[in-house]
Amino acid sequence: MSFRQPSVLPGFGLTFGFTTFFLSFLVLLPLAALVLTAGSMHWSDFLHVVTSPRALGSYRLSFGASFLAAIINLVFGFVIAWTLVRYEFPGRKLIDALIDMPFALPTAVSGIALTTVFAQSGWIGRYLEPLGIKVAYTWVGVTLALTLISMPFAVRALQPALLEVQRELEEAAETLGAGRFYIFRRIILPTVLPALLTGFTLAFARAVGEYGSVIFIAGNLPLKTEITPLLIVIHLEEFDYRGAAALGVVMLVMSFLVLFAINLLQAWNRRRHLQEVR
Amino acid sequence: MSITLDQVTKHYGGMPVVNDVSLDIGDGEFFVLLGPSGSGKSTLLRAVAGLSGVDHGRISLHGRDVTHVAARKRGVGLVFQNYALFRHMTVAENIEFALRVRWVRTKARRQRLKELLRLVSLEGLERRLPAQLSGGQQQRVAVARALAHKPEVLLLDEPFGALDAKIREELRRTIREVQRELGITTVLVTHDQEEAFAMADRIGIMNLGRLLEVGAPHDLYSRPATRFVATFLGAANLILARRSADGIQVGGSTIAAVDRPAGAAGMQEHEVVAVVRPEEVELAPAREALRSHFVAHGVVSEMVFTGPLESLRVQLQNGRHAPQLMHSDGESTADQLLQVTRTQHEQRGFAVLPGQSVAVGVRRAHVLPTPLSSFTACASSTALAESLSREPLLTALAARMKTRIALRSEPRLGVSDAACSEEQEFVGTTVIACQADCAHRAEWLLRRGVQDLLVLPAGARAPQRVLIHWMGEAVRSATLAMSASVLRHLPAEAVYVSIVPGALAGARGAPGMRELLDARSEAQAAHGLEMRTEMRFGEVAQELAARLAEAPGQMLIVGISDLTRFAERFRPLLDGGQWPVLIVHRGPA
């Protein structure tokens, strides 16, 4: 590798230095500290903490609800992005701007707002109550909160990809005899698949790490509606730093595995095309 | 007929993008739709493909009315300018797309793929992705893909636009060969006239949403009927000349015309627009050395060498007989620059340099059959005439027609029994402002030899609808010719209004109807003008005025043959009207 590559910004050497420094200082160092703290525990203590029924229940809720939220966002994020990209209507710019609201809002505010609406006496909750549907203080509420806060990630990842799908491609397919569903399945979906996966990944990652909005609507019943980040905070409040670190390491590993798997999927998708060529 | 279009119209935001286009394209024909960008040619092609609907009219493919049939059921193949290949599919998958959609068996599909790859000479590339092909190869794939399902019609939308010159030529030849081999009816849309000449059996030229002329390339080039076609299809000098029974008078000499056989031998001398192609101009050191008709002396002002040809501009000297050149900006007085092209051979015979004086001759001239030659703004003073000549509708028309607006002052305009102050007779279309006693002034002018008179209200804009009516069969043909000419330069719809006298409403219903249909078919056949028809009952001038008052943005073209009680009869139509009226008068003054 040569550090002499001409470019607009000053020197590759300098920028590469910054890149590695910031990554190490801000990302890798704290993570290493986390692993080290957990590592100072005895092996059996570690296992005891991370496999306690309460911890297992929280993993299921955290990852399950995040997965579900990411899936929901994949479908509806696609619809929203499609509407914003393909149609001209009054207020389009406004809606486009509103998508980013969950980014800007403190997540606690989102949580409180959702709880107000979906609590048993809330605007919507009071009508759902007689139907036997409970949203607030159940896993449904958790999923709802996670869907809300991770929605912009899915939409923003899909928008540029959908802009890329030229209408001419659809028209070409149409003149060749393809129906709408066929065009969607064979032309549009394959073109935006990488963006769909990226959107899913981002939404999932964001949802797994979410804390602020969930704790208000979840009710936080151990084993039922307690997410892993909350469990970590509970350990911290009991001054059990090691226990908290142990749970943190588990989350870290699982998140890493999920992201890694999706990246593999992306790479496989890309390679599949290149292989067909040879 | 393979493709039949009947009065196809498409509007975008109130403006007609495709305006009343009727066209028949025969089996196996290679038809080229040629026009500048924004002329509506692509929209028309998309309408044939079924990708955009039409507001009015019918489209048939092989006798089947497909106006309301979805694109995927029309059985056409469409090739786009930007290829529109599916980038995530290989060449083979792209070409087989239409077959997969139709659940064709693998074996038959492979067979067809092989045929198509051979047809467009892409054997061996079937496993590549589009991104790994050159532009020319990608467009070949697009052509093969469009042909896979054996469509009855192949549509090409500027297919060579994104390719460089050499590849373009090669692909042109391939497409022409494929088309001949398959005998498939093909429509190609382009703005490149060279491409149109190279490929077409017939060319249709569009401008402002209208299909102006249709014909074989050679006919359109040598005998255009409209200014637009004359100047769009190759270069042309448009010259205001005078047509008499002997021929065309340009700058003092008379050239035998090559246009359609003259109608009447005892033709009245009148102003016409002559087309002189740059290659029909001859340059010589002196008038005596010319082998063609001398028209003027000039000075070479510009010279460009383009390989086989030399292209020049010659500044004509102003003189009493100097020909009146027409320019795109409507100014005929400023620069009298004549376009000339000469072959190497001619150049060797008489080499010229910029600044050199030459004698200019013309070998051939073609007269446009349009009755609209030039405009003369006429008012009681020069100042008024000049302000009239700056009216937006008039300047727009003159600019689009590449013609001039002359000024004429008649201080005694409208004074009964007063003679014209200028000796010169009226030429072209005379324009007066619409004001209080307008009908009276109009009569004054018509009685003094004006044949075509445009009455223009202040600030009139280009109309969206032109109403057409004539009184007396003697003036029908002239009115239709004038209407067709005007409408070529306006993106407006034409409506023929037939008026049956109120008292005869019941009894004359049927003859009125026949008159309507006759008028429509004559307009279409003789003048290429598509118009809709309307019927009204009552007194002519009143009914027309009522119709004009119904909506803004309308204009009237009215033909008259009889000037009896003119001012009285036309007062409701002319005096203080908010609409432009063009009066076509043929008959005794």
Q: What is the pLDDT of residues A197-232, one digit of tens each?
A: 989 999 998 898 888 888 888 888 888 888 999 999
| Average pLDDT, integer, range B376-395 | 89
> Which pLDDT score is estimated for B148?
93
pLDDT at residue A118 is higher than 90 = no
What letters, b where the CB count within 10 A reaches 16 and e where it falls short, cover A60-74? ebbbebbbbbbbbbb
Are B88 and A273 a contacting pair at CB < 8 A? yes
**CB within 8 Å: B88 and A177:** no
Choose from B43, B69, B78, B156 for mutation: most chain A CBs within 10 A.
B78
Average of per-residue pLDDT across B394-422: 82
Highest mean pLDDT among A33-47, A163-177, B142-156: B142-156
Of B50, B84, B132, the CB nearest to A172: B84
Q: A-chain residues within 8 Å CB-CB of B129?
A: 273, 276-277
Kindly determine whether residue B90 and residue A191, on different chains, have CB atoms separated by under 8 Å. Answer: no
* pLDDT (tens digit per residue) in B208-225: 888 989 999 999 998 898
For residue B343 the two structure tokens come to: 């072959």
Structure-token pair, residue A127? 């009508």
pLDDT at B416 over 80: no
pLDDT at residue number A268: 85
pLDDT digits (tens, 9 = 90+) for B443-471: 888 888 888 999 998 888 889 899 999 98
> What is the Cα–Cα distance from A224 to B153, expressed in whole angstroms?
65
The whole-angstrom distance between B72's CA and the closest CA on chain A is: 4
Per-residue pLDDT, A278: 44
B187 contacts B155 by C-beta, under 8 angstroms: yes
Residue B178 has pLDDT above 50, yes or no: yes
Q: Are strands B76-79 and B153-157 parallel, antiparallel or unpaired?
A: parallel
Q: Does B71 touch chain A (CB under 8 A)?
A: yes
Query: What is the pLDDT at residue B406?
Result: 86
Query: Does the CB of B82 have a partner CB in chain A at under 8 Å?
Result: yes
Question: What percent of chain A has a predicted confidence (pLDDT) above 70?
Answer: 95
User: From the candidates B61, B79, B87, B127, which should be mutated to test the interface with A, based on the most A CB atoms within 10 A?
Assistant: B87
Reported ipTM: the value is 0.74
Which residues of B181-292 form beta strands (DSSP E)?
Answer: 185-190, 202-207, 210-215, 237-243, 248-250, 253-255, 270-276, 281-284
| Whether B88 contacts chain A with CB within 8 A | yes
Contact A176 B149 (CB under 8 A): yes
C-beta atoms of B88 and A172 within 8 A: no
Residues in B touching A278 (Cβ below 8 Å): 127
Closest CA of chain A from B184, distance in Å: 16
Q: Residue B111 — very low, low, confident or very high, per pLDDT cuts 50/70/90?
A: very high
Comparing C-alpha atoms, which of A85, A225, A239, A254 is closest to residue A163? A85
Residue A105, burial from CB neighbour count under 10 angstroms (0-12, 13-18, 19+): middle
**Residue of higher predicted confidence among B321 and B181:** B181
- Closest residue in A to B143 (Cα) is A172
B88 → closest Cβ in A166, A182, A191: A191
The residue that leads in pLDDT, A136 or B311, is B311
B78·A172 Cβ contact <8 A: yes
Q: Which of A14-18, A110-114, B317-321, B359-363 has the lowest mean pLDDT?
A: B317-321
Test B146 with A176 for CB contact under 8 angstroms.
Answer: yes
B146/A273 touch (CB, cutoff 8 Å), yes or no: no
Q: Which of B139-143, B417-421, B573-577 has the highest mean pLDDT?
A: B139-143
Reported confidence tier of residue B330, pLDDT bands at 50, 70, 90: very low
Using beta carbons and an 8 Å cutoff, which residues of A are at the interface with B?
166, 168-169, 171-179, 182, 186-187, 190-191, 273, 276-278
DSSP output for B558-587 = EEES--TTHHHHHHHHHTT-SS-EEEEE-S
Burial level of B145, CB count in 10 A (0-12/13-18/19+)?
A: buried
pLDDT single digits (tens) B527-543: 878 888 888 888 888 88
**Among the listed residues B26, B73, B80, the one whose alpha carbon sits nearest the alpha carbon of residue B50:** B73
Contacts of B327 (CB under 8 A, 6+ apart): B334, B335, B402
Name the more confident of B250 and B555: B555
Helix/strand/coil for A219: coil
Task: Pick A273 or B315 by higher pLDDT.
Answer: B315
Whether chain A has a CB inside 8 Å of the CB on B150: the answer is: no
Write out chain A residues lying below 8 Å of B51, CB-based.
171, 174-175
Give the pLDDT score at A277: 47
Instruction: Return the pLDDT at B503.
Output: 61
Question: Are A171 and B102 within 8 A, CB to CB?
Answer: no
Which of residues B149 and B506 earns the better pLDDT score?
B149
Which chain A residues have a beta carbon less than 8 Å from that of B74? 175
**Residue A94: helix, strand or coil by DSSP?**
helix
Instruction: Provide the shortest C-alpha distance from residue A162 to chain B (in Å).
Output: 14
Whether residue B84 lies within 8 A of chain A, CB to CB, comes out as yes
Contact B84 A168 (CB under 8 A): yes
Q: Tens digit of pLDDT for each residue in B233-270? A: 888 888 888 887 777 888 777 777 655 444 444 456 77
Q: Does B313 lie at the interface with A, CB-CB under 8 angstroms?
A: no
pLDDT at residue number A1 = 59
The DSSP call for residue A133 is: -
Query: In which residue are the tokens 């300018």 written?
Result: B81
Query: Do residue B129 and residue A273 have CB atoms under 8 angstroms apart?
Result: yes
Evaluate the CA torsion angle B413, B416, B421, B427 in order and state its sign. positive
Share above pLDDT 70 across residues of chain B, in percent, rounded to a whole number: 94
Q: How close A68 gets to chain B, by Cα (Å)? A: 29
